[in-house]
Chains A and B, each alone.
Chain A
Amino acid sequence: MKFNLEVHIANKGVVEGEALVCSKPFTFRDVNPLTGEVDTPGHDLMGKKVAGKVIVCPCASGISTEEFTMYGLKKAGFAPKAIVNGRTAFYITIAGAILAGIPMVYGLSPGCLGLIRSGDHVKVDGEQGFVEVSRA
């Protein structure tokens, strides 16, 4: 099965990868900068590696240093391939995505966002403004 979702572009770029879905606001601060794994106890994605994945979450959160956390992950080779957000995109995460060069899109209603599951193959088209989701 395959479907397309229309999105706003926060940072340009076209990439494909496996979706990693978090049901709560996501901050890269929960990712261990030395391993690239989520290591905050009780986190939806505890133990999961974000490197090379497409992070899908309702919105991002984080503290004011989120930008550098993202840039640091990118430098260490642990950055996700892309970020897909729901209704809103966190301003500071957009700044981080631009700084770290991570494609980022947003503007999905909770219903649309809920259609994407962890493990789906996702193509993020941050040029045309759509997300193509395929599931085996």
Chain B
Amino acid sequence: MVYLNDEEKKMLDGNEGPAVQRAMELVVKMAEANGAERMVDVTSAHILCVEAVDMLFEVTSGMLKDAEVKIPTTTNAVSIHSDERARQMEIPEAIIDAQWPGICRLKELHKKAGIIPSYTCHPHPLKELKMGEHVAFTEFNVVPLANAWFGARTNLHGQTDTLASAITGKAPDCGLHLPENRWGEVLIEVDKGFGPEAFDSAFYGALGYWAGQVCVDRIPVFTGLPGNTTCRAVEYLGVGPLIRGSVGMFHVVGVTPEAPTLEAAFGGRKPGERFTFGKRELKTVYGELNTAKKSEVDMVCLGCPHCSLQELQAIARLLDGKKVAKSVRLWIATNEINYGLAERMGLIDPIERAGGFLNSSICAGTGFLLRFTESLGVKVVANNGLTLSGLVSRGTRGKVGVFFGNIEQCVNAALTGKWERG
């Protein structure tokens, strides 16, 4: 049985009203399911708002009925940010009709409950996380970055129990909340044969993908990566272990805060297994991810995860004075903060003059993937995100082909209508 303190007992007994009681009941259920002995106080939450809009609304409204969140709670990207914009992007009316009213209703729910309408898979600038801080996040990009880069502690929560944590400020003390469950288990040595130019976003994505395959539910520890590996690179790296396996935590020795040394990363224990990631492995991963048979590309999506300002600068520079090929749709996604700054920095004009769409708050992929691609007649999507690649190939059961690469490769494909195989 999970230990509850007086405050938690009161919530469970209904002293704070039925909404808090309902939420606490779920937190306790999750605690029991995970064998947690106690609760932790969580300081921040992150919830979903894309896909399965009707079900999402049903579940979210059930949990948020007469409730307010106790802790800062941000929201993930949406599928459509404005119906007008969706029409400009030639998203079919049927899809707008199916998605937009639900999204509006969800937004109302969020407003009533005091949820921050961030609509992004990169909410970290709003979070100001510190090492060891307990939080309750969901989503494939948000969770690994919070754990690995910031040293904050969260499991990959679901929607219902994240909402419950947001309403109660509590989460079960289990999994990645416990220090002993955060140590590395498998050593992945990056081969020394890679030159400094090799370490682009696609490399980190591919490495993470491969690590997820070999580690499954064990925490990877990476060595051999440059000491100046950035937050953004770690963000690309973190998706694979979750999408191919089921781990929302990893270490990069000399880079991430819980891995100052190899020994620290493994908590003084020996690696359970060790692997080397070299050029052959990289090639295999690209082979698996690039499912498109022909080199013609008809859609290019950037912003999985949501583009950083530096990435938007790079895209604007690459597109400046050029035209996206007639046969290609170029969709770029970022969050509201970066969108506003990009506007002031004059980055939107060159992108839109070239024929691309820069959107704030929408998911680079999810929103349109499962429903839009086929109705848009898209056969091949080029993109920079593992989540997106996986969603396209898996979501469409291989009917839509994928090219996975860095931003430069993707923009090039948008301009020429063709993917240049590396």
Contact = CB atoms under 8 A, between A and B. Distances in A.
B76 to A, nearest CB: 8
Contacts of A9: 32-33
B155 interface: yes
Given A40-B397, A64-B48, A64-B139, A98 B59 contact: no
Interface stretch (B67-75, B145-153, B156-164, B353-361): B156-164
Interface stretch (B12-20, B50-58, B94-102): B50-58
A66 B156 CA distance: 11
Interface in A35-60: 39-41, 58-60
Given A61-B246, A64-B138, A71-B59, A89 B33 contact: yes
Interface in A57-78: 58-61, 63-69, 71-72
Given A39-B397, A41-B398, A68 B391 contact: no
A104 B139 CA distance: 22
A41 B398 CA distance: 8
B138 A90 contact: no
B245 to A, nearest CB: 6
A104 B32 CA distance: 12
A5 interface: no
Given A30-B394, A64-B138, A98 B26 contact: yes
A95 B30 contact: yes
Nearest to A88: B217
Given A40-B397, A68-B56, A98-B30, A92 B216 contact: no
B175 A91 contact: yes
Contacts of B140: 63-64
Interface residues of B, number: 40
A39 B156 CA distance: 26
Contact of A68 (B32, B59, B242): B59
Contacts of B55: 68, 71-72
Interface of A is mostly: mixed
Interface string B384-400: 00010011001101100
Nearest to A98: B29
A124 to B, nearest CB: 14
A11 B33 contact: yes
A83 to B, nearest CB: 12
A109 to B, nearest CB: 13
Interface in B365-412: 387, 390-391, 394-395, 397-398
A63 B243 contact: yes
B340 interface: no
B346 interface: no
Contacts of A117: none
Interface residues of A, number: 35
Residue in A69, A96, A98 with the greatest tally of chain B CB atoms within 10 Å: A98
A67 B246 contact: no
B155 A91 contact: yes
Contact of A61 (B138, B245, B387): B245
Contacts of A40: 394, 397
B51 A68 contact: yes
B34 interface: yes
A90 B322 CA distance: 46
B35 interface: yes
A51 to B, nearest CB: 18
A25 B216 contact: yes
B216 A65 contact: no
Given A11-B33, A41-B398, A91-B34, A99 B160 contact: yes
A67 B56 CA distance: 10
Contacts of A10: 33-34
Residue in A25, A66, A95, A104 with the greatest tally of chain B CB atoms within 10 Å: A95
Interface string B214-244: 0011000000000000000000000000111
A11 B138 CA distance: 20
Interface string A91-105: 110111011000010
Contacts of B50: 65
B217 A8 contact: no
Given A68-B52, A98-B26, A98-B29, A92 B158 contact: yes
A8 B161 CA distance: 20
Contacts of B216: 25, 58-59
Nearest to B172: A91
Contact of A95 (B160, B242, B395): B160
Question: Considering the complex of A and B, which 7 residue pairs feature the smallest CB-CB distances, nearest first?
Answer: A95-B158, A10-B33, A67-B158, A68-B52, A92-B158, A91-B155, A61-B246
7 contacts: A9-B32, A59-B216, A64-B139, A67-B59, A91-B34, A94-B30, A98-B160
Interface of B: 26, 29-30, 32-35, 48, 50-52, 55-56, 59, 76, 138-140, 155-161, 175, 216-217, 242-246, 387, 390-391, 394-395, 397-398
Interface of A: 8-11, 25, 29-30, 39-41, 58-61, 63-69, 71-72, 87-92, 94-96, 98-99, 104
